[in-house]
């Protein structure tokens, strides 16, 4: 068949229904009018032709290449009708029949290829090109989105992975830490030594067993002075070493919370030597059960010989002080020592008197005839010789001696009768009255008063000591709150003699004449008027007697009361105390110069000696301590 197609024939060929095909009246699938169309196929072969029109199709001139892309022409508005040429009609028919026509030089059309195939290829090519462009654009967009998505996804995945790994590591670390706590609980940490021995991951009990010496003693050995031994089983006193406690103490030092640090550091503990624990009461019972012997030690003593005196030395015995031995054994056991020597304990009873103890006394006894104890009374002395007090000393068979204190006291009492002047009447030559006797009184305290008890004790000690010495007797005294001496009952040493203790330096006060005189070494140095204690009530009177200067003070505050219920309080610039009860010589500035005469009878003091400021200052400045003050009516 020829490939040439006659357009007139194609257009005018009647259909099987007997008319020209009407695109508008043909059904969608009515291709019968073209069934006999003579088409000369090319090399591509032929396909069954299909003629397809729509009820309202656009004119062929407006058909475009997008027809085959699936555009819905039924929705387009019907255009104004236009008369088509044959060529246009043929192309339209050919398109509808899916026939591709190529116009030849002679005006005929050649079907080169099945239009549907060409169209399909073109469509495929166009679509492929469009799709390629769209695909490339889409791919580019998708790539960008994928990149963003991939980046986002990659970041999320990495975060998820790292989060998972981090969580896993944390859980693993916690599990590892807790596991370490569990494993090391009650045990020494890794890399730990005690006294150089590795105790890593060992319990206190295991370390105690390791530190315990299997060769530890099982009994106490007590060695007597004769070399014999006494043994006491350690089990009988519940003896044990405190190794377990010391090990536990080291274990308690570990820092369990930081157990993992021990993996990198070595800990070296130094454990002290174990100390013993035992029942000390049971130890005492065991020691008391033992028969240690009953031989008493003998003391050293002095015996008389043809040449004088000699020492017989002491001798040891078997008896011992079990309490002392118990204390010593206890101390040794606490230091884990189980071998004990009794001699080292000092528990053996020793002689009360040793040769060494007696040596000084022996020397004293051999020289007793040469001993002299000199007692000084200022103007004279009493010498007590060995031959005198030998009758007060009793020698024992062992050569020791004791001093009979009562006999010494008798000697002291005789001294007191001979030398005491305290609280005694005295003869005195008064300035106005001449020779008088000055009475005693409760307020006047002057003179020497031997403290008999303390003087006796002093002499006993000196005799026992066996030394020649010179000493004063102890005179009576009062004490301060701190125990030191306050007022000592003596007089003025320079005034002391066999018949007098006032001497030629003194203060004289005539209470009747209300006048004071001060004599120094027999020379009158000062005289002035005074006001003494008021006569009534009697509690205000100034009592006669020999007083002395006990104390001095400036700007003194006076406050006191008497048995009459009177109280007073005042100040003075110069205070010279002459009695321990509070009587003094002082200025009374409230009186001015109004002193002397009969003032004391109705406006006297409460017992003190009132003076002008000038006179009080003179007495304060010039009269020495211990100077006697003689008052009389």
Question: Do 451 and 508 sit in the same domain of this protein?
Answer: no
**Which CATH number is 612's domain given?**
2.40.440.10
Place of tokens 């730990």: 192
pLDDT score, position 190: 92
Residue 449 lies in a domain: yes
Length of the chain: 633
DSSP class of 513: T
Q: Left (φ > 0), alpha (ψ -120 to 50) or beta: where does 548 sit?
A: beta
DSSP SS3 for 298: strand
Instruction: Convert the pLDDT of each residue in 254-271 to its tens digit.
Output: 888 888 888 888 999 998
Predicted confidence band at 67 (pLDDT cuts at 50, 70, 90)? very low
Place of tokens 């390629």: 132
Q: Is 435 exposed, middle or buried (0-12, 13-18, 19+ CB in 10 A)?
A: exposed
Question: Do 526 and 462 sit in the same domain of this protein?
Answer: no
Sign of CA dihedral 430, 435, 439, 440: positive
Please compute the mean of the pLDDT values over residues 347-372 and round it to a whole number.
80
Question: Do 204 and 246 sit in the same domain of this protein?
Answer: yes
Residue 301 lies in a domain: no
pLDDT score, position 274: 79
Residue 396 CB contacts under 8 Å (≥ 6 apart), including other chains: 301, 402
Question: Do 523 and 601 sit in the same domain of this protein?
Answer: yes
Residue 339 lies in a domain: no
pLDDT over 90 at 198, yes or no: yes
Residue 611 lies in a domain: yes
pLDDT over 70 at 17, yes or no: no
Nearest to 108 by CA among 200, 202, 2, 257: 2
Domains in the chain: how many in total? Answer: 4
Give the span between the Cα atoms of 285 and 238, in whole angstroms.
13
Question: Do 556 and 503 sit in the same domain of this protein?
Answer: yes
pLDDT score, position 84: 62
- Contact call for residues 492 and 378 (beta carbons, < 8 A): no
pLDDT over 80 at 173, yes or no: yes
Give the span between the Cα atoms of 288 and 294, in whole angstroms.
13
pLDDT over 90 at 165, yes or no: no
- DSSP collapsed to 3 states, 597-618: CCHHHHHCECCCEEECHHHHHH
Give the span between the Cα atoms of 392 and 405, in whole angstroms.
8
Residue 47 lies in a domain: yes
Last residue of a domain, one of 88, 121, 154: 121
Q: For residue 450, count other CB atoms closer than 10 A to its CB.
A: 26
Task: Report phi then psi at 171, rounded to 5.
Answer: -65, -40
Please compute the mean of the pLDDT values over residues 430-447 and round it to a whole number.
96
Question: What is the DSSP pairing of strand 426-430 with strand 434-438?
Answer: antiparallel
Give the span between the Cα atoms of 131 and 139, in whole angstroms.
11
Question: Do 500 and 628 sit in the same domain of this protein?
Answer: yes
- DSSP collapsed to 3 states, 310-354: EEECCECCCCECHHHHHHHHHHHHHCCCCEEEHHHHCCECCCCCC
pLDDT over 50 at 306, yes or no: yes
> E strands, 171-313, where?
192-194, 197-198, 219-223, 229-233, 240-241, 267-269, 276-277, 301-305, 308-312
Sign of CA dihedral 23, 26, 28, 29: negative
Question: Do 499 and 623 sit in the same domain of this protein?
Answer: yes
88 compared with 565, residue with greater pLDDT: 565
Question: Do 561 and 477 sit in the same domain of this protein?
Answer: no
CA atoms within 13 A on the CB side of 150: 6
pLDDT score, position 241: 81
Q: Which range, 124-128, 306-310, 410-414, has the best average confidence (pLDDT)?
A: 410-414
Question: Do 616 and 554 sit in the same domain of this protein?
Answer: yes
Question: Do 501 and 625 sit in the same domain of this protein?
Answer: yes
The whole domain housing 461 covers 359-422+442-488
**Which CATH number is 449's domain given?**
3.10.20.800
Q: What is the dihedral of CA 339, 343, 345, 349, to 10 degrees?
A: 140
Place of tokens 């006191």: 560
Predicted confidence band at 371 (pLDDT cuts at 50, 70, 90)? confident
Instruction: Convert the pLDDT of each residue in 531-573 to its tens digit.
Output: 999 999 999 999 999 999 999 999 999 999 999 899 999 999 9
DSSP class of 67: G
Residue 103 CB contacts under 8 Å (≥ 6 apart), including other chains: 109, 110
- Contact call for residues 534 and 600 (beta carbons, < 8 A): yes
Last residue of a domain, one of 59, 91, 121: 121
Q: The sheet that has 229-233: what strands, in order across it?
A: 229-233, 219-223, 339-341
> E strands, 431-544, where?
434-438, 469-471, 477-479, 485-488, 506-510, 515-520, 523-529
What are 90's two structure tokens?
A: 């043929």
């Amino acid at each position: 068949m020829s490939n040439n197609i006659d357009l007139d024939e194609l257009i005018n060929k009647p259909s099987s229904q007997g008319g020209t095909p009407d695109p508008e009246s043909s059904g969608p699938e009515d291709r019968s009018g073209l069934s006999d169309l003579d088409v000369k196929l090319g090399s591509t072969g032929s396909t069954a032709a299909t003629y397809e029109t729509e009820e309202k199709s656009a004119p062929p001139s407006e058909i475009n290449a997008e027809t085959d892309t699936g555009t819905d022409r039924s929705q387009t508005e019907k255009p104004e009708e236009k008369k088509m040429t044959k060529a246009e009609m043929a192309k339209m028919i050919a398109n509808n029949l899916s026939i591709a026509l190529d116009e030849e030089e002679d005006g005929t059309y050649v079907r080169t290829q099945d239009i549907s195939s060409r169209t399909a290829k073109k469509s495929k090519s166009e679509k492929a090109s469009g799709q390629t462009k769209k695909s490339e654009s889409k791919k580019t967009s998708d790539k960008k989105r994928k990149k963003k998505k991939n980046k986002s996804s990659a970041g999320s995945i990495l975060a998820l992975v790292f989060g998972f790994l981090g969580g896993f590591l944390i859980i693993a670390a916690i599990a590892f830490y807790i596991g370490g706590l569990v494993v090391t609980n009650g045990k020494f940490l890794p890399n730990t030594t005690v006294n150089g021995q590795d105790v890593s991951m060992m319990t206190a009990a295991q370390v105690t067993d390791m530190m315990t010496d299997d060769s530890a003693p099982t009994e106490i050995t007590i060695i007597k002075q004769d070399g014999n031994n006494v043994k006491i089983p350690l089990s009988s006193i519940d003896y044990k070493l405190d190794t377990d406690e010391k090990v536990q103490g080291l274990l308690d030092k570990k820092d369990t919370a930081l157990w993992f640090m021990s993996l990198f550091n070595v800990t070296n503990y130094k454990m002290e030597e174990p100390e013993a624990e035992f029942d000390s009461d049971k130890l005492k019972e065991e020691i008391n059960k033992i028969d240690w012997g009953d031989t008493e030690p003998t003391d050293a003593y002095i015996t008389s010989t043809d040449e004088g005196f000699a020492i017989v030395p002491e001798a040891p015995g078997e008896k011992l002080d079990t309490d002392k031995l118990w204390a010593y054994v206890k101390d040794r056991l606490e230091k884990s020592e189980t071998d004990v020597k009794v001699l080292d304990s000092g528990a053996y009873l020793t002689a009360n008197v040793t040769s060494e103890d007696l040596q000084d006394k022996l020397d004293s006894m051999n020289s007793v005839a040469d001993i002299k104890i000199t007692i000084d009374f200022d103007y004279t002395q009493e010498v007590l010789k060995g031959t005198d007090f030998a009758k007060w000393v009793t020698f024992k068979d062992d050569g020791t001696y004791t001093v009979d204190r009562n006999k010494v006291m008798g000697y002291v009492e005789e001294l007191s009768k001979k030398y005491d002047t305290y609280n005694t009447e005295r003869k005195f030559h008064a300035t106005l009255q001449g020779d008088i006797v000055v009475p005693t009184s409760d307020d006047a305290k002057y003179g020497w008063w031997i403290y008999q008890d303390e003087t006796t004790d002093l002499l006993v000690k000196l005799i026992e000591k066996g030394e020649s010495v010179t000493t004063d007797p102890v005179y009576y005294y009062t004490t301060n709150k701190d125990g030191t001496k306050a007022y000592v009952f003596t007089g003025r040493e320079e005034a002391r003699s066999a018949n007098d203790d006032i001497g030629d330096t003194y203060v004289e006060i005539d209470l009747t004449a209300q006048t004071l005189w001060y004599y120094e070494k027999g020379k009158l140095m000062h005289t002035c008027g005074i006001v003494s204690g008021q006569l009534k009530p009697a509690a205000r009177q100034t009592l006669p007697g020999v007083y002395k200067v006990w104390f001095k003070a400036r700007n003194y505050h006076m406050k006191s009361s008497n048995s009459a219920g009177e109280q007073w309080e005042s100040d003075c610039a110069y205070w010279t105390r002459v009695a321990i009860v509070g009587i003094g010589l002082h200025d009374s500035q409230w009186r001015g110069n109004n002193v002397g005469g009969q003032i004391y009878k109705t406006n006297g003091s409460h017992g003190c000696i009132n003076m002008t400021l000038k006179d009080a200052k003179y007495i304060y400045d010039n009269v020495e301590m211990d100077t006697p003050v003689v008052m009389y009516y």
